[in-house]
Chains A and B, each alone.
Chain A
């Protein structure tokens, strides 16, 4: 992929992000931060590539440490989001009028 193609993806994704995030309900802003944290650990892809490559020992170990750090985030981020979201419950009596 050339630079312009990548840049296009990036710019369009920024717009998608803008509209998607504005539609997130304020009550879920903390889970939003937790889940964005988890997904930004997709950086693990880079860490995996570095750790799998042969030849450069230092780079390999840097990659391995990065894999471990990103794993903390992936497992921790998704798990804590799941835990939080499970707590959001509706009123038991849905008949009760709001106003």
Chain B
């Protein structure tokens, strides 16, 4: 179809091998044992792709190029070494924004110098390439500005509360339609203003799409942006006719999409309702707010908790975002070690949306040296609560709320939850009785007879329990 630069079969083959390495990288993640080998495959694939590109092109400015790779690589390396595991969601959001921006820059470069990419004849860019380029720049820009907002929200520079603009659905749909219309028109007219308008509108829509989404929906947002960064890479792969980029883009795109789906399902929300945003804005939703706060509840001390757990046969720990905020994972592991010395069986129960990104809790527990075979997913452990002496809830709230099973008027109705109330005793660490979870709903568990509230900072409370266990 195109009279692009003749493709050297060996080059095409090298990119294909790189693509296969990336598939193996993801495949390795099916179990922790094979995961590190998978990561090596990923690195090998990237090395093949970069070396192939460098070897098959004349390098006009090697010094600048080396400097760009050196500076970027050093920054990335240092960041990866220093970042705290609790800050992983922000880091991933920041990395997404870089992929998005890189895609935008590549698309701009391709627009300004199409000859170098073999997508033009006599300065006229092929219409197919224009669509690919337009979509690439649009998705890249959305990924960039959306990820920047997600980063600011996750990093606490911006409130996690949804920001609602009046008429935002109309504005968003209008802008989206504008972008698609302009990309279509771009095939007819290769005018620079169209390209730049698409770029700017896409930056704006990325921003508008993410600001109304609240903190608790961030796992979905982060996965969604992950998906977008993949589609952006794929779109650029179409432009460059590069199989490594297309395969990778498709892998990353589907990965992010599947993670978003899993997260939505774990919250019993539709993808559309998450994207529409605003969840958690109406405080005390479902009529379960203020008046219930006066109900009686039991307060316990660290000593009570230590005593109860020492007597227990089995304790199930339910961690949530609060554990990450308080950095309590190390103290928690210490507590569980003490309990194990006493002969107590300790397990961890992870809800899919606990934390701010998929698998967030698992990484924190792994960081604290908790063996991964003591950590269970919701569906694998939920039946065990009824035979458990103590459920120890640390920093989680909405994911334990039985209202999701019984109260049809509750905003979280239908969401799968951990059945902590079925345990003989529930120990619930919480900062104070006043606050509610991100969904803005009161939790029935607080007021049950078998619940003991431990009101304190999660880390301090766990440290006190550790002391009391001695």
Q: Check if B400 is an interface residue, CB within 8 A of chain A.
A: no
A contact residues vs B (CB 8 Å cutoff)? 1-3, 6, 9-11, 13-14, 16-18, 20-56, 58-60, 62-92, 98
B contact residues vs A (CB 8 Å cutoff)? 1-2, 7, 12, 15, 18-19, 22-23, 25-27, 29-32, 35-36, 38-39, 42-43, 45-46, 49-50, 53-54, 57-61, 64-65, 68-77, 79-81, 83, 85, 88, 91-92, 95-96, 98-99, 101-103, 105-106, 108-110, 112-113, 115-117, 128, 222-223, 226, 229-230, 232-234, 236-256, 258-259, 262, 350, 352, 357-360, 362-363, 366-367, 369, 371-375, 377
B219 CB to nearest chain A CB (Å): 9
Task: Give Cα distance in the complex from A46 to B137, angstroms.
Answer: 13
Task: Give Cα distance in the complex from A87 to B250, angstroms.
Answer: 29
Which chain B residues border A68 with CB–CB below 8 Å?
Answer: 68-69, 71-72
Q: Contact at A37–B92, with CB atoms within 8 Å?
A: yes
Would you mind naming 22 contact pairs between A and B with Cβ atoms under 8 Å apart? A26-B262, A27-B362, A29-B362, A30-B360, A31-B39, A32-B359, A36-B255, A39-B22, A40-B229, A41-B102, A43-B99, A44-B49, A50-B110, A53-B57, A60-B109, A73-B95, A75-B73, A75-B80, A76-B75, A78-B39, A83-B80, A88-B372
**A37 partner, pick from B29, B226, B254, B371, beta carbons under 8 A:** B226
Q: Contact at B116–A13, with CB atoms within 8 Å?
A: no
Q: Contact at A50–B102, with CB atoms within 8 Å?
A: no
Q: Contact at B73–A90, with CB atoms within 8 Å?
A: no
Which chain B residues border A77 with CB–CB below 8 Å?
Answer: 76, 80, 95
Q: A45-B242, A63-B109 are in contact. Are A32 and B72 (CB under 8 A)?
A: no
Q: Contact at B77–A75, with CB atoms within 8 Å?
A: yes
Which chain A residues border B254 with CB–CB below 8 Å?
Answer: 14, 17-18, 21
Most chain A CB neighbours (cut-off 10 Å) among B15, B103, B255: B255
Q: Contact at B25–A39, with CB atoms within 8 Å?
A: yes
Q: Contact at B1–A2, with CB atoms within 8 Å?
A: yes
Q: Contact at A78–B43, with CB atoms within 8 Å?
A: yes
Q: Contact at A18–B22, with CB atoms within 8 Å?
A: no
A18 CB to nearest chain B CB (Å): 5
Return the chain B residue nearest A45 by Cβ.
Answer: B53
